[in-house]
Structure 1
Amino acid sequence: MNALDVVSTGALMLLGAILLLLLMQTLKLREIWQMMLGCQKTARWASIWEMENKELRSALRAEKAHVEQLEGKLVILQAMVPAA
């Protein structure tokens, strides 16, 4: 085996090692990509839940105000009815 064969074999081995490293990086990036997609989906759901919670809190405030209004009317009506 002459020097040129040794250099060619070394270069081929180096290319194989580079290919292996690139494959490992691709797998790691794929894993990170899947994790990012999961986080994106979770963030979307969190945003939806937050909007729903705001709507529910607003509806609850409106209901409480309505109950207070009805209680006020009840007090007025009870004052108008003579005590038996």
Structure 2
Amino acid sequence: MNEWIAVGALGLIGVILLVLLLQYMRLREIWQGLSRCREALRWARIWESENQELKRSLRAEQKRCEQLEEALNNVQASQV
């Protein structure tokens, strides 16, 4: 009788270990997904920052181009 109880306890411990292993694998998968999500978010912030900087530079260049065109028109008007 004691042997059956010991075998049953070992079987139960085996099942518990299997469930814990499955839970560990699932949690590891979730953690890796979160890690990838954080990495993607980090890159999205970097790209957004670069995009804003490029937009500021473009507006500055457009303003400079307008000023140069205005100066060119003034020079051409004064020559006429």
Fold shared per TM-score above 0.5: yes
Could you tell me how far 1:9 is from its partner in structure 2?
2.3
Instruction: Identify the range of structure 1 (9-18 vs 56-65) with the bigger mean alpha-carbon deviation.
Output: 9-18
Q: Which residue of 2 aligns with 1:52?
A: 50
Q: 1:20-59 to 2 correspondence within 5 Å?
A: 20-59=18-57
Q: Matched residues in 1 for 2:73 and 2:52: separation?
A: 32
Q: Within 1, Cα distance between the matches of 2:55 and 2:12? A: 63
Q: How many residues align?
A: 80
Between Structure 1 and Structure 2, the one with more helix by share is 2
Query: 53-62 or 67-76, which moves further after superposition?
Result: 67-76
Once the 2 structures are TM-superposed, how far is the Cα of residue 75 of structure 1 from its aligned partner? Answer: 1.1
* Structure 1, unpaired ranges of 5+: none
Q: Give the structure 2 partner of residue 78 of structure 1.
A: 76
- Considering only aligned residues, what root-mean-square deviation do their CA atoms show, in Å? 1.1
Q: TM-score normalized by structure 2?
A: 0.91
Structure 2 residue ranges without an equivalent (≥5) = none
Please, which moves more after superposition, 33-42 or 18-27? Answer: 33-42
Moved over 6 A (4+): none
Q: TM-score, normalised by structure 1?
A: 0.87
> Residues 9-55 of structure 1, C-alpha deviation per residue, up to 9 Å, x if partnerless?
22221111111000000011111111111111111111100000000
Check if 1:5 corresponds to 2:3: yes
Letter in 2 for 1:78: Q
Instruction: State percent identity of aligned pairs.
Output: 49
Rg bigger for which structure? 1
